[in-house]
């Protein structure tokens, strides 16, 4: 997973994105919207951990 920075009409937004293959073609899926403030690496790791624990349930 990685953080994508996106500019829309002069505003910056951050998303957590996951790469996967669909029918042999690489695709990227937005997993979570992170807001308009740049997330710290610690915050990103915490969110990834939460998502992985939720996926196991």
The reported pTM is: 0.80
Structural domains counted in the chain: 1
36 phi and psi, to 5 degrees? -100, -10
Q: Show the domain range for 25.
A: 2-56
Model confidence pLDDT, tens digit, residues 3-50:
999 999 999 999 999 999 999 999 999 999 999 999 999 999 999 898
């Amino acid at each position: 997973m990685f953080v994508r920075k996106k500019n829309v009409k002069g505003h910056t937004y951050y998303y957590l994105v996951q790469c996967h293959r669909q029918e042999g073609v690489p695709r990227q899926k937005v997993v979570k919207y992170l807001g308009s403030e740049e997330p710290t690496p610690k915050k990103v790791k915490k969110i990834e951990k939460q998502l992985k624990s939720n996926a196991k349930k």
